[in-house]
Amino acid sequence: MIALKQIERSYKTGAAQTFVLRNINLTIREGDFVTVMGPSGAGKSSLLNVLALLDDEWRGEYSLDGEQVHALSRKGRAELARRRIGMVFQSYHLLDDLTVAENIDLPLSYKNLPRAERQAMVADTLDRFQIVGKKDLYPSQLSGGQQQLVGIARAVIHSPALLLADEPTGNLHSAQAAEIMQLFRTLNEQGTTIVQVTHSELNATYGRRILELRDGWLTRDTAPAQGASGVHAS
């Protein structure tokens, strides 16, 4: 589903160029559940941003679902992301002046969907995440775990093929974290490909494959190397 070839990402800091991703080659199959680990500053979020098509400034080749992302225009990438990708954030990023239901509806509001269909999808998702009773509350009235639940519901409402999560449980205590991870596993079992970033070994156990980044290099991959997507050890 995902194939990265020689992905590089750097920031200009003054005169120097700092590389945060170096020569990343990676294949992720449909239905995979991948955990990205590594020390702070290793480039995990940077990688996720590339995968999420939020970042435009990398070099290399990236194919998603057969689409050659590197050849797409900015608009084309946004369109692709809108259809295929959902994102979950560490600090949830819910909009404070929208209700739970409105927050969940947000991605749909940017698609040309009939109103009735949208309402049905929102109702369906609220139901699936068992937060129907909270639909008219505002984010500030929810606990952290509940907020992240809403964040995930928002990320998957349009049934993306790829779910990306950057430290989704970073702000939660362990019981809440376990709940979220269980939810991820269920989503994965239902067919969603998941890439999560985490510092937690425990969270990693929910996934099937672990990648490790250090200083922008991909240093470990628990999946068996296959073809060009293998790990080039430094």
Partner 1 sequence: MPNAQTVRLALRRLGKQPGFALLAVLTLAVGIGPTTAVYAVFRQVLLRELPVHKPGEFLLLAQQSAYDTGSLNSYGGSQELYFAAPAYRTLRAAVPQLAAIARQPVNFATATEALQVNAQLVSGNYFSLLAERPALGRLFNDEDDRIHAANPVALLSESFWRSHFSASPAVLNLRVAVNGVLFTIVGVVPDEGFMGAAEPVSLFVPEAMQQAISLGRPDTEDDPLARWLLVLGRVPAGSARAQLESRLNGSWIAWRREVLHTRADKISNPAGWMKTSLHLTSGARGITLLKQRLGTPVLVLQAMAALVLLVTCANIASLLLARAAAQRSEMAVRACLGASRSEIVRSTITDALLLGGAGTAAGVALGWACLHLLLHMFAESDNYLVAALAAPWHWSVLLVAASAGVLTSLLFSLGPAVAHARVSPGEVLHSSHGVVGGTAARARGVMVAATIAGSLVLLLGASLMGWNLYRLSTTSPGFTPNHLLTFQVDESATGASRQRTAEVYTGLLASIAHERGVSTAAYAHEGLLSGDQMGSNISVAGRPNKDNDLEPNQNWVSAGFFKTLGVPVLRGREFADADTAASEPIAVVDQAFVRAFFDGDASRALGQHFGFGSGSTTSYPIRIVGVVPTIHEDSMHSLPSVPYLYLAYPQTYGKQSFFGNRHAAHFYIRTAGDPATFAADMRLLVHRADPRLPVLDLATMQEQVSGSIADTRLLAILSSALGVLAASLAAVGLYEVLAYQVTTRRREIGLRMAVGASRARVVRLLLGQMLRLTAGGLGAGALLALGAARLLASSMADLVPAPPLLYLGAALLLLLTALVAALVPARRAARVEPMEALRME
Which residues make up the interface to partner 1 (CB under 8 A)? 45, 49, 52, 54-55, 75, 78, 81-82, 87, 89-91, 93, 95-97, 106-107, 110-111, 154
What is the sign, positive or negative, of the torsion defined by CA atoms of 50, 55, 61, 67? Answer: positive
Question: Strand 162-166's sheet: what is its strand order?
Answer: 85-88, 162-166, 193-197, 33-37, 209-214, 217-221
Nearer to ligand ATP, 39 or 191 (CB): 39
Stretch that binds Mg ion, among 42-50, 56-64, 74-82, 97-105 (CB under 5 A): 42-50
Nearer to partner 1, 82 or 208 (CB): 82
Element at 116 (helix H, strand E): helix 115-128
Instruction: Compute the distance between CA of residue 211 and CA of residue 220 in angstroms, rounded to an integer.
Output: 5
Residue 45 touching Mg ion (CB under 5 A): yes
Nearer to Mg ion, 45 or 192 (CB): 45
Nearer to partner 1, 112 or 226 (CB): 112
Nearer to partner 1, 13 or 96 (CB): 96
Residue 169 touching Mg ion (CB under 5 A): no
DSSP state of 140: G
Q: How far is the CB of 78 from partner 1 (least distance, A)?
A: 6
Element at 81 (helix H, strand E): helix 74-84
Residue 99 touching Mg ion (CB under 5 A): no
Single-letter amino acid code for the residue at 45: S
Q: How far is the CB of 45 from ligand ATP (least distance, A)?
A: 3
Nearest-CB residue for ligand ATP: 45
Q: Which does 97 bind (CB under 5 to 8 A by kind): ligand ATP, partner 1, Mg ion, none?
A: partner 1
DSSP state of 208: S
Binding site for ligand ATP (CB under 6 A): 11, 20, 38, 40-46
Q: How far is the CB of 113 from Mg ion (least distance, A)?
A: 32
Please list, in sequence order, all residues whose beta carbon lies within 8 angstroms of the beta carbon of residue 33, skipping any fewer than 6 positions away: 184, 185, 188, 193, 194, 196, 206, 207, 208, 209
Nearest-CB residue for Mg ion: 45
Q: How far is the CB of 218 from partner 1 (least distance, A)?
A: 20
Instruction: Compute the distance between CA of residue 36 and CA of residue 42 in angstroms, rounded to an integer.
Output: 10
Nearer to Mg ion, 108 or 172 (CB): 172
Extract the runs of DSSP E, i.e. beta strands, from the chain: 2-13, 16-28, 33-37, 59-64, 67-68, 85-88, 162-166, 193-197, 209-214, 217-221
| The pair of three-digit structure tokens given for residue 135, joined into one six-digit string | 């639909």
Residues that bind Mg ion (CB under 5 A): 45
